[in-house]
Protein backbone atom coordinates (compact mmCIF):
# COMPACT_ATOMS: atom_id res chain seq x y z
CA UNK A 1 0.00 0.00 0.00
CA UNK A 2 1.58 3.29 -1.07
CA UNK A 3 1.74 6.43 1.08
CA UNK A 4 -1.02 8.24 -0.83
CA UNK A 5 -3.43 5.36 -0.25
CA UNK A 6 -2.59 5.19 3.45
CA UNK A 7 -3.09 8.96 3.76
CA UNK A 8 -6.46 8.70 2.04
CA UNK A 9 -7.62 5.94 4.39
CA UNK A 10 -6.45 7.78 7.49
CA UNK A 11 -8.23 10.96 6.39
CA UNK A 12 -11.39 8.96 5.80
CA UNK A 13 -11.27 7.90 9.46
CA UNK A 14 -10.13 11.15 11.08
CA UNK A 15 -10.78 13.92 8.57
CA UNK A 16 -8.05 16.11 7.01
CA UNK A 17 -7.43 17.93 10.30
CA UNK A 18 -6.78 14.65 12.08
CA UNK A 19 -3.73 13.60 10.06
CA UNK A 20 -0.27 15.14 9.64
CA UNK A 21 2.04 13.91 6.89
CA UNK A 22 4.16 16.78 5.59
CA UNK A 23 7.82 16.54 6.72
CA UNK A 24 7.76 19.95 8.39
CA UNK A 25 4.72 18.88 10.45
CA UNK A 26 5.73 15.37 11.50
CA UNK A 27 9.23 16.63 12.41
CA UNK A 28 7.74 17.98 15.63
CA UNK A 29 6.98 14.39 16.68
CA UNK A 30 10.37 12.83 16.00
CA UNK A 31 11.61 13.01 19.60
CA UNK A 32 10.59 12.85 23.24
CA UNK A 33 12.62 13.80 26.33
CA UNK A 34 15.48 11.39 25.52
CA UNK A 35 18.30 11.50 22.96
CA UNK A 36 16.96 9.31 20.17
CA UNK A 37 15.17 10.88 17.21
CA UNK A 38 13.30 9.40 14.26
CA UNK A 39 10.67 10.88 11.95
CA UNK A 40 7.27 9.19 11.58
CA UNK A 41 5.47 8.99 8.26
CA UNK A 42 2.15 10.10 9.76
CA UNK A 43 0.84 11.58 13.00
CA UNK A 44 -2.84 11.04 13.72
CA UNK A 45 -5.17 12.54 16.33
CA UNK A 46 -8.07 10.20 17.11
CA UNK A 47 -10.91 11.23 19.40
CA UNK A 48 -12.48 7.84 20.12
CA UNK A 49 -11.40 4.26 20.73
CA UNK A 50 -13.22 3.27 17.53
CA UNK A 51 -11.05 5.66 15.53
CA UNK A 52 -7.90 4.29 17.21
CA UNK A 53 -8.97 0.77 16.25
CA UNK A 54 -9.59 1.85 12.66
CA UNK A 55 -6.14 3.45 12.45
CA UNK A 56 -4.55 0.27 13.79
CA UNK A 57 -6.38 -1.77 11.19
CA UNK A 58 -5.06 0.50 8.42
CA UNK A 59 -1.55 0.10 9.80
CA UNK A 60 -1.91 -3.68 9.87
CA UNK A 61 -3.17 -3.76 6.29
CA UNK A 62 -0.20 -1.65 5.18
CA UNK A 63 2.36 -3.49 7.32
CA UNK A 64 3.19 -0.12 8.88
CA UNK A 65 4.44 0.33 12.47
CA UNK A 66 2.33 2.37 14.87
CA UNK A 67 2.98 3.67 18.35
CA UNK A 68 1.12 5.69 21.03
CA UNK A 69 2.22 9.14 22.14
CA UNK A 70 1.12 11.22 25.11
CA UNK A 71 2.79 14.54 25.88
CA UNK A 72 6.25 13.49 24.67
CA UNK A 73 7.84 13.96 28.11
CA UNK A 74 9.16 10.38 28.25
CA UNK A 75 12.83 9.90 29.05
CA UNK A 76 13.73 6.68 27.23
CA UNK A 77 12.64 7.16 23.62
CA UNK A 78 9.46 5.14 24.09
CA UNK A 79 7.34 7.39 21.85
CA UNK A 80 9.93 7.75 19.09
CA UNK A 81 9.05 6.19 15.72
CA UNK A 82 12.43 4.56 15.18
CA UNK A 83 11.06 2.43 12.32
CA UNK A 84 8.81 5.15 10.90
CA UNK A 85 5.09 4.52 10.61
CA UNK A 86 2.14 6.14 12.38
CA UNK A 87 2.37 8.04 15.65
CA UNK A 88 -1.01 7.89 17.39
CA UNK A 89 -1.23 11.07 19.44
CA UNK A 90 -3.81 11.10 22.23
CA UNK A 91 -3.81 14.88 22.56
CA UNK A 92 -7.51 15.08 21.62
CA UNK A 93 -8.60 12.25 23.92
CA UNK A 94 -8.17 14.42 26.99
CA UNK A 95 -11.46 14.21 28.90
CA UNK A 96 -12.17 13.15 32.47
CA UNK A 97 -15.20 10.98 31.69
CA UNK A 98 -16.52 10.27 35.17
CA UNK A 99 -15.66 10.99 38.80
CA UNK A 100 -17.02 8.49 41.32
CA UNK A 101 -16.06 9.81 44.75
CA UNK A 102 -18.20 7.27 46.60
CA UNK A 103 -16.03 4.50 45.18
CA UNK A 104 -12.85 6.62 45.04
CA UNK A 105 -12.18 6.33 41.32
CA UNK A 106 -12.27 8.29 38.09
CA UNK A 107 -12.57 7.26 34.45
CA UNK A 108 -10.22 9.21 32.19
CA UNK A 109 -9.01 9.25 28.61
CA UNK A 110 -5.28 8.73 28.02
CA UNK A 111 -4.59 12.33 27.02
CA UNK A 112 -5.68 13.76 30.39
CA UNK A 113 -2.81 15.64 32.01
CA UNK A 114 -1.75 14.05 35.29
CA UNK A 115 -2.25 17.10 37.53
CA UNK A 116 -5.73 17.71 36.08
CA UNK A 117 -7.07 14.61 37.84
CA UNK A 118 -6.04 15.96 41.24
CA UNK A 119 -7.26 19.46 40.36
CA UNK A 120 -10.68 18.01 39.51
CA UNK A 121 -11.15 16.28 42.89
CA UNK A 122 -9.00 18.16 45.41
CA UNK A 123 -11.88 20.44 46.33
CA UNK A 124 -13.74 17.35 47.51
CA UNK A 125 -10.81 16.13 49.58
CA UNK A 126 -9.22 13.64 47.15
CA UNK A 127 -6.15 13.41 44.94
CA UNK A 128 -4.40 11.15 42.42
CA UNK A 129 -1.18 9.85 43.97
CA UNK A 130 1.36 9.30 41.13
CA UNK A 131 3.08 12.65 40.64
CA UNK A 132 6.04 12.64 38.22
CA UNK A 133 8.05 15.85 38.13
CA UNK A 134 6.47 16.48 34.73
CA UNK A 135 2.95 16.10 36.13
CA UNK A 136 1.85 19.50 34.79
CA UNK A 137 2.51 18.24 31.26
CA UNK A 138 2.66 14.42 31.21
CA UNK A 139 -0.50 12.43 30.54
CA UNK A 140 -2.18 9.46 32.19
CA UNK A 141 -1.69 7.30 29.10
CA UNK A 142 2.04 7.93 29.11
CA UNK A 143 2.19 7.30 32.86
CA UNK A 144 0.46 3.96 32.33
CA UNK A 145 2.85 3.02 29.53
CA UNK A 146 5.90 3.65 31.71
CA UNK A 147 4.41 2.77 35.12
CA UNK A 148 5.45 6.21 36.32
CA UNK A 149 6.07 7.11 39.92
CA UNK A 150 6.98 10.42 41.52
CA UNK A 151 8.08 11.82 44.88
CA UNK A 152 4.82 10.97 46.67
CA UNK A 153 4.64 7.33 45.57
CA UNK A 154 6.84 6.09 48.41
CA UNK A 155 3.98 5.41 50.81
CA UNK A 156 1.22 4.51 48.32
CA UNK A 157 2.84 2.91 45.28
CA UNK A 158 3.25 3.85 41.61
CA UNK A 159 0.86 3.96 38.65
CA UNK A 160 0.27 0.19 38.65
CA UNK A 161 -1.10 0.45 42.19
CA UNK A 162 -3.58 3.14 41.14
CA UNK A 163 -4.86 1.74 37.85
CA UNK A 164 -8.03 -0.34 38.21
CA UNK A 165 -9.25 -1.03 34.67
CA UNK A 166 -8.18 -0.29 31.12
CA UNK A 167 -9.82 -0.06 27.73
CA UNK A 168 -7.18 -1.11 25.20
CA UNK A 169 -6.95 -1.34 21.44
CA UNK A 170 -4.92 -4.49 20.82
CA UNK A 171 -2.32 -4.60 18.03
CA UNK A 172 -4.81 -6.29 15.68
CA UNK A 173 -7.39 -3.52 16.18
CA UNK A 174 -9.67 -5.33 18.65
CA UNK A 175 -10.99 -3.19 21.53
CA UNK A 176 -10.96 -4.99 24.89
CA UNK A 177 -11.63 -4.14 28.54
CA UNK A 178 -9.09 -5.34 31.10
CA UNK A 179 -9.50 -5.61 34.86
CA UNK A 180 -12.34 -4.99 37.29
CA UNK A 181 -12.81 -1.97 39.56
CA UNK A 182 -12.71 -4.21 42.64
CA UNK A 183 -10.06 -5.33 45.07
CA UNK A 184 -8.14 -8.46 44.06
CA UNK A 185 -10.22 -9.54 41.02
CA UNK A 186 -9.88 -13.19 39.94
CA UNK A 187 -7.89 -14.40 36.96
CA UNK A 188 -4.67 -13.17 35.39
CA UNK A 189 -3.72 -9.57 36.12
CA UNK A 190 -3.82 -8.34 32.54
CA UNK A 191 -4.18 -4.75 33.71
CA UNK A 192 -0.93 -5.10 35.63
CA UNK A 193 0.70 -6.64 32.56
CA UNK A 194 -0.37 -3.72 30.38
CA UNK A 195 0.84 -1.05 32.84
CA UNK A 196 4.53 -0.53 32.18
CA UNK A 197 4.52 -2.40 28.86
CA UNK A 198 5.63 0.82 27.09
CA UNK A 199 2.99 0.66 24.38
CA UNK A 200 4.25 -2.66 23.00
CA UNK A 201 1.15 -4.70 23.90
CA UNK A 202 -1.61 -2.28 22.88
CA UNK A 203 -2.89 1.31 22.96
CA UNK A 204 -4.75 2.44 26.07
CA UNK A 205 -7.87 4.45 25.21
CA UNK A 206 -9.47 4.73 28.66
CA UNK A 207 -8.49 4.05 32.27
CA UNK A 208 -10.23 3.91 35.61
CA UNK A 209 -7.80 5.21 38.22
CA UNK A 210 -7.88 5.15 41.99
CA UNK A 211 -8.47 8.31 44.03
CA UNK A 212 -7.13 8.72 47.56
CA UNK A 213 -8.32 10.93 50.42
CA UNK A 214 -6.17 13.96 51.06
CA UNK A 215 -4.37 13.63 54.40
CA UNK A 216 -5.63 15.64 57.32
CA UNK A 217 -2.29 17.45 57.58
CA UNK A 218 1.15 17.46 55.95
CA UNK A 219 4.47 18.76 57.24
CA UNK A 220 7.58 19.30 55.16
CA UNK A 221 11.16 19.18 56.42
CA UNK A 222 14.37 20.25 54.74
CA UNK A 223 17.28 18.37 56.34
CA UNK A 224 20.71 19.81 55.55
CA UNK A 225 23.88 17.70 55.50
CA UNK A 226 27.59 18.41 55.04
CA UNK A 227 28.24 14.86 53.87
CA UNK A 228 26.41 12.83 51.19
CA UNK A 229 27.09 9.58 53.05
CA UNK A 230 25.41 10.93 56.17
CA UNK A 231 22.37 12.00 54.17
CA UNK A 232 22.21 8.52 52.62
CA UNK A 233 22.49 6.89 56.04
CA UNK A 234 19.67 9.11 57.32
CA UNK A 235 17.42 7.78 54.53
CA UNK A 236 18.08 4.18 55.60
CA UNK A 237 17.59 5.09 59.27
CA UNK A 238 14.18 6.65 58.63
CA UNK A 239 12.86 3.65 56.71
CA UNK A 240 14.46 1.12 59.08
CA UNK A 241 12.71 2.91 61.97
CA UNK A 242 9.38 1.90 60.45
CA UNK A 243 8.47 5.44 59.44
CA UNK A 244 7.35 5.71 55.81
CA UNK A 245 7.18 9.36 54.77
CA UNK A 246 4.85 10.44 52.01
CA UNK A 247 7.99 11.58 50.19
CA UNK A 248 11.72 11.36 50.88
CA UNK A 249 13.82 13.08 48.22
CA UNK A 250 17.53 13.84 48.04
CA UNK A 251 19.67 16.37 46.15
CA UNK A 252 23.44 16.70 46.08
CA UNK A 253 25.41 19.95 45.92
CA UNK A 254 25.49 20.21 42.13
CA UNK A 255 21.71 19.91 41.99
CA UNK A 256 21.21 22.26 44.94
CA UNK A 257 23.23 25.03 43.28
CA UNK A 258 21.37 24.70 39.99
CA UNK A 259 17.95 24.66 41.65
CA UNK A 260 18.71 27.58 43.92
CA UNK A 261 19.96 29.67 41.01
CA UNK A 262 16.79 28.93 39.05
CA UNK A 263 14.08 28.83 41.74
CA UNK A 264 15.51 30.60 44.82
CA UNK A 265 13.81 28.15 47.18
CA UNK A 266 16.09 28.72 50.16
CA UNK A 267 18.28 25.63 49.72
CA UNK A 268 21.73 26.18 51.31
CA UNK A 269 24.21 26.21 48.44
CA UNK A 270 27.12 25.16 50.68
CA UNK A 271 25.42 21.89 51.71
CA UNK A 272 26.70 18.57 50.37
CA UNK A 273 23.15 17.23 50.28
CA UNK A 274 19.62 17.95 51.42
CA UNK A 275 16.68 15.69 52.14
CA UNK A 276 13.17 16.95 51.37
CA UNK A 277 10.72 15.03 53.53
CA UNK A 278 6.93 15.07 53.56
CA UNK A 279 5.14 13.57 56.57
CA UNK A 280 1.38 13.25 56.66
CA UNK A 281 -1.30 12.04 59.00
CA UNK A 282 -3.71 13.34 61.64
CA UNK A 283 -3.28 16.62 63.49
CA UNK A 284 -2.87 14.68 66.69
CA UNK A 285 0.58 13.16 66.55
CA UNK A 286 2.03 14.89 63.49
CA UNK A 287 4.25 17.18 65.56
CA UNK A 288 5.68 14.21 67.45
CA UNK A 289 6.30 12.38 64.19
CA UNK A 290 7.99 15.44 62.69
CA UNK A 291 10.23 15.82 65.71
CA UNK A 292 11.10 12.12 65.63
CA UNK A 293 12.14 12.17 61.97
CA UNK A 294 14.13 15.34 62.55
CA UNK A 295 15.96 13.63 65.40
CA UNK A 296 16.75 10.62 63.19
CA UNK A 297 18.33 13.02 60.69
CA UNK A 298 20.35 14.74 63.42
CA UNK A 299 21.64 11.42 64.72
CA UNK A 300 22.93 10.74 61.23
CA UNK A 301 24.75 14.04 60.82
CA UNK A 302 22.18 16.65 59.76
CA UNK A 303 23.54 20.08 60.66
CA UNK A 304 20.11 21.72 60.38
CA UNK A 305 16.42 20.79 60.16
CA UNK A 306 14.13 23.38 58.58
CA UNK A 307 10.38 22.75 58.92
CA UNK A 308 8.23 24.64 56.41
CA UNK A 309 6.30 27.24 58.39
CA UNK A 310 3.43 27.68 55.92
CA UNK A 311 1.80 26.13 52.89
CA UNK A 312 3.49 28.77 50.74
CA UNK A 313 6.90 27.85 52.12
CA UNK A 314 6.17 24.17 51.61
CA UNK A 315 5.17 24.81 47.98
CA UNK A 316 8.37 26.83 47.47
CA UNK A 317 10.56 23.99 48.71
CA UNK A 318 8.76 21.52 46.47
CA UNK A 319 8.92 23.82 43.46
CA UNK A 320 12.68 23.37 43.62
CA UNK A 321 12.45 19.60 43.54
CA UNK A 322 9.81 19.58 40.80
CA UNK A 323 11.86 22.01 38.72
CA UNK A 324 15.23 20.37 39.30
CA UNK A 325 15.60 18.83 35.84
CA UNK A 326 14.81 22.09 34.09
CA UNK A 327 17.20 23.95 36.39
CA UNK A 328 20.12 22.01 34.90
CA UNK A 329 20.04 24.50 32.03
CA UNK A 330 21.84 26.84 34.42
CA UNK A 331 24.84 24.52 34.32
CA UNK A 332 24.86 22.87 30.89
CA UNK A 333 23.14 23.01 27.48
CA UNK A 334 21.90 19.41 27.86
CA UNK A 335 21.48 16.66 30.42
CA UNK A 336 21.12 12.89 30.17
CA UNK A 337 19.15 11.29 32.97
CA UNK A 338 19.08 7.68 34.15
CA UNK A 339 16.75 6.06 36.68
CA UNK A 340 18.36 2.97 38.09
CA UNK A 341 17.08 1.52 41.35
CA UNK A 342 19.22 0.25 44.22
CA UNK A 343 18.71 -0.96 47.80
CA UNK A 344 18.68 2.07 50.09
CA UNK A 345 21.58 0.72 52.16
CA UNK A 346 23.81 0.86 49.07
CA UNK A 347 23.25 4.57 48.45
CA UNK A 348 26.69 5.74 49.71
CA UNK A 349 28.60 3.22 47.60
CA UNK A 350 26.60 3.73 44.42
CA UNK A 351 26.64 7.53 44.66
CA UNK A 352 30.41 7.32 45.09
CA UNK A 353 30.62 5.12 42.01
CA UNK A 354 28.49 7.56 40.02
CA UNK A 355 30.98 10.30 40.91
CA UNK A 356 33.83 8.09 39.72
CA UNK A 357 32.02 7.42 36.44
CA UNK A 358 31.62 11.15 35.91
CA UNK A 359 35.36 11.63 36.38
CA UNK A 360 36.21 8.69 34.11
CA UNK A 361 34.14 10.06 31.23
CA UNK A 362 34.74 13.75 31.92
CA UNK A 363 31.20 14.80 32.86
CA UNK A 364 29.69 16.62 35.81
CA UNK A 365 26.83 14.59 37.31
CA UNK A 366 24.05 16.03 39.47
CA UNK A 367 21.99 13.72 41.66
CA UNK A 368 18.35 14.47 42.48
CA UNK A 369 16.23 11.45 43.22
CA UNK A 370 13.61 9.45 45.12
CA UNK A 371 15.88 8.41 47.98
CA UNK A 372 13.14 6.73 50.00
CA UNK A 373 12.66 3.97 47.44
CA UNK A 374 16.20 3.93 46.07
CA UNK A 375 15.23 5.28 42.65
CA UNK A 376 18.25 7.26 41.42
CA UNK A 377 18.12 10.08 38.87
CA UNK A 378 21.74 10.98 38.02
CA UNK A 379 21.75 13.85 35.53
CA UNK A 380 24.85 13.77 33.33
CA UNK A 381 25.59 17.30 32.07
CA UNK A 382 26.85 17.64 28.49
CA UNK A 383 26.40 19.42 25.16
CA UNK A 384 24.37 17.39 22.66
CA UNK A 385 25.75 19.52 19.81
CA UNK A 386 29.06 17.69 20.26
CA UNK A 387 28.83 14.14 18.81
CA UNK A 388 31.79 12.98 20.90
CA UNK A 389 30.03 14.08 24.08
CA UNK A 390 26.84 12.31 22.99
CA UNK A 391 28.75 9.06 22.51
CA UNK A 392 30.48 9.51 25.84
CA UNK A 393 27.35 10.32 27.79
CA UNK A 394 25.60 7.19 26.52
CA UNK A 395 28.55 5.07 27.68
CA UNK A 396 28.56 6.82 31.05
CA UNK A 397 24.84 6.17 31.41
CA UNK A 398 25.31 2.47 30.75
CA UNK A 399 28.13 2.35 33.29
CA UNK A 400 25.79 3.85 35.91
CA UNK A 401 23.11 1.27 35.17
CA UNK A 402 25.70 -1.50 35.42
CA UNK A 403 26.67 -0.19 38.86
CA UNK A 404 23.01 -0.28 39.93
CA UNK A 405 22.63 -3.91 38.86
CA UNK A 406 25.88 -4.87 40.58
CA UNK A 407 24.52 -3.31 43.77
CA UNK A 408 21.46 -5.58 43.61
CA UNK A 409 19.17 -3.19 41.80
CA UNK A 410 17.49 -2.52 38.47
CA UNK A 411 18.11 -0.50 35.29
CA UNK A 412 14.81 1.37 35.53
CA UNK A 413 12.41 2.50 38.20
CA UNK A 414 9.91 4.58 36.26
CA UNK A 415 11.34 5.95 33.00
CA UNK A 416 11.11 2.65 31.15
CA UNK A 417 13.53 0.94 28.75
CA UNK A 418 12.38 2.29 25.39
CA UNK A 419 15.21 2.64 22.87
CA UNK A 420 17.70 4.17 25.25
CA UNK A 421 18.23 1.23 27.60
CA UNK A 422 17.28 -1.76 25.47
CA UNK A 423 20.90 -2.96 25.13
CA UNK A 424 21.32 -2.55 28.90
CA UNK A 425 18.63 -5.20 29.45
CA UNK A 426 21.49 -7.71 29.07
CA UNK A 427 22.98 -6.38 32.29
CA UNK A 428 19.97 -7.48 34.30
CA UNK A 429 18.32 -10.35 32.44
CA UNK A 430 19.51 -13.68 31.08
CA UNK A 431 18.72 -15.02 27.63
CA UNK A 432 15.95 -17.16 29.12
CA UNK A 433 14.41 -14.11 30.80
CA UNK A 434 14.42 -12.10 27.59
CA UNK A 435 12.96 -14.93 25.53
CA UNK A 436 10.14 -15.40 28.05
CA UNK A 437 9.30 -11.69 27.88
CA UNK A 438 9.42 -11.79 24.08
CA UNK A 439 6.91 -14.65 24.06
CA UNK A 440 4.50 -12.56 26.13
CA UNK A 441 4.91 -9.70 23.69
CA UNK A 442 4.37 -12.00 20.71
CA UNK A 443 1.09 -13.28 22.20
CA UNK A 444 -0.32 -9.73 22.02
CA UNK A 445 1.76 -8.28 19.18
CA UNK A 446 2.67 -11.15 16.80
CA UNK A 447 3.40 -8.90 13.81
CA UNK A 448 5.60 -6.61 15.94
CA UNK A 449 3.99 -3.52 14.44
CA UNK A 450 2.92 -2.03 17.79
CA UNK A 451 5.78 0.20 18.96
CA UNK A 452 8.55 -1.98 17.51
CA UNK A 453 12.21 -1.66 18.46
CA UNK A 454 11.52 -0.88 22.10
CA UNK A 455 12.46 -2.68 25.33
CA UNK A 456 14.24 -5.69 23.81
CA UNK A 457 17.95 -5.67 22.89
CA UNK A 458 18.91 -5.89 19.24
CA UNK A 459 22.10 -7.88 19.81
CA UNK A 460 21.63 -11.64 19.42
CA UNK A 461 24.49 -12.15 21.86
CA UNK A 462 22.24 -10.86 24.64
CA UNK A 463 19.96 -13.85 24.19
CA UNK A 464 22.71 -16.40 24.68
CA UNK A 465 22.06 -18.45 27.81
CA UNK A 466 23.67 -16.70 30.75
CA UNK A 467 25.22 -14.01 28.54
CA UNK A 468 26.42 -11.21 30.83
CA UNK A 469 23.82 -12.29 33.38
CA UNK A 470 24.85 -11.69 36.97
CA UNK A 471 23.53 -13.41 40.02
CA UNK A 472 22.25 -10.57 42.18
CA UNK A 473 23.88 -10.21 45.59
CA UNK A 474 21.72 -11.06 48.56
CA UNK A 475 20.17 -7.90 49.98
CA UNK A 476 19.58 -8.07 53.70
CA UNK A 477 16.95 -5.36 53.89
CA UNK A 478 13.45 -5.70 52.50
CA UNK A 479 13.11 -3.25 49.65
CA UNK A 480 9.77 -3.03 47.85
CA UNK A 481 11.29 -1.25 44.87
CA UNK A 482 13.30 -4.23 43.64
CATH number 3.30.70.2190 given to 217-328: yes
Query: Buried (b) or exposed (e) across 16-32, using 16+ Cβ within 10 A?
Result: eebbbbeeeebeebbbb
pLDDT digits (tens, 9 = 90+) for 8-22: 999 999 999 999 999
Q: What pLDDT score was predicted for residue 462? A: 81
DSSP string, 162-175: GEEEEEEE-TTS-E
Rounded to two decimals, what is the model's pTM?
0.93
- In tens, the pLDDT along 85-143 reads 999 999 999 999 999 999 999 999 999 999 999 999 999 999 999 999 999 999 999 99
- The answer regarding whether domain 3-89 maps to CATH 3.30.43.10 reads yes
Classified by CATH at the fold level, domain 96-213 comes out as 3.30.465
Q: Do residues 357 and 365 lie in contact, with contact meaning Cβ atoms separated by under 8 Å? A: yes
Element (H, E) at 16: none
Contact criterion met (CB below 8 Å) for 86 and 199: no
What pLDDT shows up at residue 449?
A: 98
Q: With cut-offs at 50, 70 and 90, classify the pLDDT of residue 482.
A: very low
Distance CA 36, CA 397 (A): 14
Mean pLDDT of 422-435: 95
Residues ≥6 apart with Cβ < 8 Å to 429: 437, 469
The domains spanning 3-89 and 332-463 adopt the same CATH topology: no
**Residue 154, CB half-sphere, CA atoms under 13 Å: how many?**
25
pLDDT of 257 strictly over 60: yes
Mean pLDDT along residues 316-335: 94
**CA–CA distance from 230 to each of 226, 250, 295, 463 (Å)?**
8, 12, 13, 41
DSSP result, 355-404: HHHHHHHT-EEEEEEBGGGTB--EEEEE-TTSHHHHHHHHHHHHHHHHHH
Ranges of each domain in the chain = 3-89, 96-213, 217-328, 332-463
Residue 169, burial from CB neighbour count under 10 angstroms (0-12, 13-18, 19+): buried
Give me the chain's average pLDDT, please: 94
CA 230 to chain centre: 27
For 163, residues 6+ apart whose C-beta sits below 8 A from its C-beta are 144, 179, 191, 195, 207, 208, 209, 210
Q: Are 68 and 204 in contact (CB under 8 A)?
A: yes
Q: Is the pLDDT of residue 470 over 60?
A: no
Q: CB within 8 A of 430, min separation 6: which ones?
A: 465, 466, 467, 469
Give the model's pLDDT for residue 403: 97
DSSP per residue over 299-315, as a string? HTTEEEEEE--SHHHHH
Fold of 332-463: Alpha-Beta Plaits (3.30.70)
CB atoms within 10 A of CB 196: 21
Whether the predicted pLDDT of 477 surpasses 80? no
Helices (H), 27-99: 49-62
Q: Which of 408, 328, 396 is nearest to 356 (CA)?
A: 396
DSSP string, 416-480: --TTTTTTTHHHH--HHHHHHHHHHHHHH-TT--BSTTSSS-S-GGGGSTTTT--PPPP-SS--T
Cα–Cα distance for residue pair 325/319, rounded to 1 Å: 11
In three-state form (DSSP H/G/I as H, E/B as E, the rest C), the secondary structure along 392-406 is HHHHHHHHHHHHHHH
Amino acid sequence: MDKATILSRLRAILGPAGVLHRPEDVALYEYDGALDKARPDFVVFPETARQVAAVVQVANAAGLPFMPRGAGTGLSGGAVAIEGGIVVSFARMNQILEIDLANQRAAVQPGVVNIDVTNAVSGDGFYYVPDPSSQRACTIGGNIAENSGGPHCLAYGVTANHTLTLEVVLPDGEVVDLGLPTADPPGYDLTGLMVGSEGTLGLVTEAVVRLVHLPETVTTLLAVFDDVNEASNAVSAIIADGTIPAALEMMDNVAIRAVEAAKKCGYPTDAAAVLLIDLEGFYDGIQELTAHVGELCRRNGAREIRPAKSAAERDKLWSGRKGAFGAMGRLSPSYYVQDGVIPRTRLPQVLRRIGEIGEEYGFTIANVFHAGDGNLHPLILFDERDPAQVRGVVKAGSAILRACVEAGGSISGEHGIGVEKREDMCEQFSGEDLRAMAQVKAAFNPLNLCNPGKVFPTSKACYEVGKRHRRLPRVVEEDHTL
